[in-house]
Chains A and B, each alone.
Chain A
Amino acid sequence: MRTRAILGSALAAFTVLGVGYEVGQAATAVDATSATGATDATSATGSSGSSSGSTTNSDQTSSSSSGSSGSSGSSGSTGSSSSTGTTSSSSGYADGTYTGSSVSTRFGNVQVQVTISGGQITDVAALQLTDHDGRSVQISNRAAPILREEVLSAQSASVQMVGGATYTSQAYLSSLQSALDQAS
């Protein structure tokens, strides 16, 4: 090992780490200002929203329990909103706004609200996203719009998870599925 190599390596490593640190500081500063935006909960409309913030992974099996409460194994919350009977068009969702169960993850709870219009999923709003710390806020704020787009185009909760946002994705889709279960 020659001095030139050692000094060069130290200098290069120091510079690279320094740049990384500065970028990171800037990123956290931005997060701090934009973090609180998405998380205001506009409380659920016309839902019984029991929100049993339970197990992370309890795959809400989409057994189509059409209106019949009690039977399905999923987290309580039968979709009791007004328009249960008027199942329209292809996808078979009833119009209305449904709030999914709140799913807890290590990085905080996730809860979404889905809007069905004309039998189609027309909007998904995140009522609550992982907010354990700056990083998880950052990650989920990035993941949520991607997930929303995917759900709107797929018209179901069976979409790909967002890379690097596994927990958020799992919880988001799980909450969404419980909302869709109410709508079907």
Chain B
Amino acid sequence: MTATLPRTAPAEAAGTRRSVPTVGEDRLRRLRRRRFLADLLVIAFWASGAVAAALYLATGGLADWATAGGAVTGLGILAGLVGSDFVLAMLVLAARIPALDRTIGHDRAMAVHRRLGKPALYLLLAHGALLLVGYAMTAGIDLGAQLVQLWELPDMPLAFLSIGLFVAVVVTSLVAVRRKLPYEFWYGIHLLSYAAVLTAIPHQLSVGGVLADGTPQRAYWIALYVVAIGAIVVFRIAQPLIRSLRHDLRVERVEWIAPDVASLYLRGRRLDLLGASGGQYFYWRLWSRRTWWHAHPISLSAEPTGTHARITVRVLGSGTQRITSVRPGTRVIFSGPFGLFTDAARTSPRLAIVAAGIGVTPVRALLESGDLAPGEATVLVRNSQGEEGFLVPELRELAARRGVQLYRSTGPRPAGGGWMSAEDAARGVTLESVFPELDRSDLYVCGPQAWTDEVVAAARAAGVHEDRIHTERFDW
């Protein structure tokens, strides 16, 4: 194969003026490309569900629908195929695949992952129930006897275990229940989803008529599992481990900057190769006896250098308590970087940033790394108490250096709710008054979820286009 190196066309070399794309055009092109890929992902997802159903249709399954029992059985098979396909899609979404993160953002991928949980579980439950009823109708026996017969088929006890695990995983992950559970408990149960996925496989391949030996259906199905499980193994285990060891990242020191806020200074080799930019986050797993099992998603709070990175943590629970009390020298296993909360996601000439509490950390790193003209960016930092304004001195210094307008809104929020302090709300401050050029701005919002939702609602009410609102959620 011969490829010629690209070179400047003679016409241009002769001095013809070519319109250089402005920053705006460049950003717009990137945005269009990301949107296109995101749409492609949606299409691929629904198409994969359709393929799962088509596997059944292609075996001529519809011929069985002549009898009521056959039709119920057929529906049960369809539910199982599509439900499993959804489960595999959930695995892919949770695999932290870098390309997926760059397209829709890891946090949005996880939001879709969460949304799929219930439909997938319902389909799998329907699969079991419909097949039980359908088989019983065909055989003309009662459900109890049918259940015994099902249990006696090869690999079926494992399948029953699998559905039990799926129920446990989804129930413990539903928002309402999850709030009441400690993270550790939820996490432990959630790990069982791997067991749930694996224990479901044998009965699919032995009892499942659609996926019988030697059929193309079986080959496709196995390929699906290989891709989904492979993505998990590569991007959640192998790659983080290899990169962590290669970069030899360790905690250098821990510095408390407020009673409940600490910065961890990390030291490693060739950190520039990670390609991380300010505002992005990693999953950090501190390799000490008390912290190894829990990875925390935390933003960089400073632009990383070749040898150093810094994260800033607010102690919110026992997990963050433990990671701020590790010894210097502790090895750090990380995966990342993630997040579109960067310069790369921008679409507009101006930059408006609203941050609350610990949400200020990615903002600080974003300001440090972003390619900003003086006057281009405006920042509003929100704290409920004055002394909480950690990193604000750094932010102030950075703002002065980069020509960024910095506002603060400090004090308790109004009784009726709102994202500003009560005092500012009473003075009639609005999103538009803080950011007069809001209609030409990218709005970055970073803070606790409920507060972020309020800011986003205010922004939508002010007519800010969806593509210009950038948020990042760190909750698990």
Contact = CB atoms under 8 A, between A and B. Distances in A.
Given A2-B39, A24-B59, A16 B64 contact: no
Contacts of B60: 24-25, 27-28, 31, 134-135, 138
B206 A161 contact: yes
A166 interface: yes
A17 B61 CA distance: 13
A49 to B, nearest CB: 25
A8 B42 contact: yes
A31 B61 CA distance: 12
- The 4 lowest CB-CB distance pairs between A and B, nearest first, are A164-B212, A20-B54, A20-B57, A13-B50
A12 interface: yes
B255 to A, nearest CB: 45
Given A20-B54, A20-B57, A164-B210, A134 B39 contact: no
A17 B53 contact: yes
Nearest to A134: B63
A38 interface: no
B134 to A, nearest CB: 10
Contacts of A28: 60, 62-63
Contacts of B149: 56
B27 interface: no
Interface string B41-59: 0110111011101111111
Nearest to B58: A23
Given A5-B38, A8-B39, 19 more contacts: A1-B42, A2-B39, A9-B46, A12-B47, A12-B50, A13-B47, A24-B57, A24-B59, A27-B59, A28-B63, A138-B59, A139-B209, A139-B212, A162-B213, A163-B212, A164-B206, A164-B207, A165-B212, A166-B206
A33 to B, nearest CB: 13
5 contacts: A9-B43, A13-B50, A16-B47, A133-B67, A166-B153
A20 B217 CA distance: 11
Interface of B: 35, 38-40, 42-43, 45-47, 49-51, 53-64, 66-67, 70, 135, 138-139, 149, 152-154, 205-215, 218
A166 B154 contact: yes
A120 B207 CA distance: 31
Contacts of B208: 163-164
Contact of A24 (B42, B58, B138, B152): B58
Interface of A: 1-2, 4-5, 8-10, 12-14, 16-17, 19-21, 23-25, 27-28, 31, 56-57, 106, 132-135, 138-139, 142-143, 146, 161-166
Contact of A21 (B39, B49, B62, B218): B62
Contacts of A143: 212-213
A138 B61 CA distance: 11
A142 B214 contact: yes
Contacts of A135: 59-61, 63-64, 209
Nearest to B213: A163
Nearest to A30: B60
Most buried by B among A23, A135, A163, A165: A163
A20 B63 contact: no
Contacts of A166: 153-154, 206-207
B64 A134 contact: yes
A19 B58 CA distance: 8
Nearest to A139: B209
A84 to B, nearest CB: 34
Contact of B212 (A2, A27, A142): A142
Contact of A16 (B45, B51, B215, B218): B51
Nearest to B210: A164
B50 A162 contact: no
A133 to B, nearest CB: 6
A4 B61 contact: no
Contact of B53 (A20, A133, A134, A139): A20
Contacts of B39: 2, 4-5, 8
Nearest to A6: B42
A93 to B, nearest CB: 27
